[in-house]
């Protein structure tokens, strides 16, 4: 008798989970971005919200909460119910903030349930056209000869810029802003001299000549800007860094809901139109959007951030 009851209970539990997943989402959703509008993370978030909203049958509103390395945005998600209706488009800012010693009322990794990785984008170093350098060696010589640190714009935190400086042996003065759009505006105006940024957030300005790109931190050139030499080609093999873009939910979100969200990200990454739109923006679409792969990437990124901070004695 006990065995007969047990066999009946198991499929009922599975059915309940499937029914809950099918009933989700049952209202409009939010996708929080920890930066001001106009940057790379914001661009990817809007593409993701558009596709996933249609795929899941509910509107997904992008909500920008800039400042403090993405911490206010993270808190907006972590203070919401863990029901999968409030998501975050992350890109590594929290790992950087944690490594730098920014007080966080949560663990930058354990607080989240990875949903799916969308893609990555190698970090380019760009400068205002007034900077007399067209490659990394010329920039290195210019900064050393000037006797002044290079003014580097940063949307809250920018360990990629610190990595460039460490490997090139130059001094930088980091000037912090509340978002990428604000950094770009001041870079265009010449109020800061440089910025280390993923290509999607700067591509249009580079192509128009408003900003000059010197290198991309990768072993291979970008398909959207094949004329831009890599850091490795220019003699700096230690400068390898990329932004990553992925969807996370609050830890504790029901597994069946996370699975439904993960399936939506996977469909987005596999969609030819979305792949084309992301690629045109400078995002290298991931070959594996799964949450397990994404979780590993997040943890490896945190370790790299901690290494850059220790080497440069940057902890605040």
**The domain spanning residue 81 has which CATH number?**
3.40.190.150
Q: Tell me whether residue 40 is in a domain.
A: yes
For residues 143 and 158, membership in a common domain is answered with yes
CATH label of the domain that carries residue 155: 3.40.190.10
Residue 3 pLDDT > 50, yes or no? no
In this predicted model, what pLDDT tens digit does every residue of 189-217 receive, in sequence order? 999 999 999 887 788 899 999 999 999 99
| Residue 261: inside a domain | yes
What is the per-residue burial (b if ≥16 Cβ within 10 Å, else e) of 52-73?
Answer: bbebbeeebebbbbbbbbbbeb
Q: Give me the domain span that covers residue 205.
A: 123-216
Would you state the pLDDT for residue 66? 81
Q: Do residue 106 and residue 47 come from a single domain?
A: yes
pLDDT of residue 17: 43
What percent of the chain clears pLDDT 90, i.e. is strictly above it?
A: 75
Same domain, 18 and 117: yes
Neighbours of 111 (CB within 10 A): 18
pLDDT class of 22 with cuts at 50, 70, 90: low
Question: The whole model's pTM is what?
Answer: 0.82
Exposure on the CB side of residue 58, measured as CA atoms within 13 A: 19
Please tell me the predicted confidence (pLDDT) of residue 70: 85
Instruction: Give just the sign of the alpha carbon dihedral 300, 302, 305, 310.
Output: negative
**Residue 298 domain flag:** yes
CB 96 within 8 A of CB 305: yes
**Residue 123: is its pLDDT beyond 50?**
yes
Assess whether pLDDT exceeds 50 at residue 279. Answer: yes
Same domain for 63 and 208, yes or no, is no
Residue 12 binned pLDDT confidence (cut-offs 50, 70, 90): very low
Q: Average pLDDT of 241-263? A: 97
Residue 65 has pLDDT above 80, yes or no: yes
| Nearest CA among 253, 249, 214 for reference residue 234 | 214
Residues 168-197, mean pLDDT to the nearest whole number: 93
Count of domains in the chain?
2
- Do 66 and 155 share a domain, yes or no? no
Average the pLDDT over 58-64 and give the result.
97
């Amino acid at each position: 008798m006990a065995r007969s009851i047990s066999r009946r209970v198991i499929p009922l539990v599975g059915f309940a989970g499937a029914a809950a997943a099918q009933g989700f989402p049952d209202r409009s959703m939010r996708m929080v971005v920890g930066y001001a509008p106009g940057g790379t993370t914001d661009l990817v978030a809007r593409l993701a919200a558009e596709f996933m909203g249609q795929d899941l049958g509910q509107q997904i509103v992008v909500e920008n909460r800039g400042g403090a390395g993405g911490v206010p945005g993270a808190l907006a998600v972590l203070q919401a119910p863990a029901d999968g209706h409030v998501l975050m488009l992350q890109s590594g800012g929290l790992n950087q903030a944690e490594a730098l010693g920014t007080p966080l009322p949560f663990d930058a990794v354990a607080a989240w349930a990875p949903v799916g990785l969308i893609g990555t984008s190698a970090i380019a170093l760009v400068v205002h056209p007034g900077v007399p350098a067209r490659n990394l060696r010329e920039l290195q010589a210019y900064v050393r000869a000037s006797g002044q640190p290079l003014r580097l714009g940063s949307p809250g935190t920018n360990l990629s810029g610190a990595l460039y400086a460490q490997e090139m042996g130059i001094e930088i003065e980091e000037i912090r802003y509340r978002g990428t759009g604000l950094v770009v505006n001041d870079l265009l105006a010449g109020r800061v001299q440089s910025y280390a940024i993923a290509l999607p957030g700067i591509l249009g300005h580079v192509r128009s000549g408003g900003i000059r790109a010197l290198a991309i931190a990768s072993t291979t050139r970008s398909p959207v800007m094949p004329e831009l030499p890599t850091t490795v080609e220019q003699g700096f093999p230690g400068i390898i860094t990329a932004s990553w873009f992925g969807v996370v939910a609050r830890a504790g979100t029901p597994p069946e809901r996370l699975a439904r969200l993960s399936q939506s990200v996977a469909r987005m990454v596999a969609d030819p139109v979305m792949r084309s739109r992301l690629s045109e923006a400078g995002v290298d679409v991931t070959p594996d959007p799964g949450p397990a792969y994404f979780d590993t990437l997040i943890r490896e990124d945190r370790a790299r951030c901690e290494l850059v901070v220790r080497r440069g004695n940057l902890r605040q």
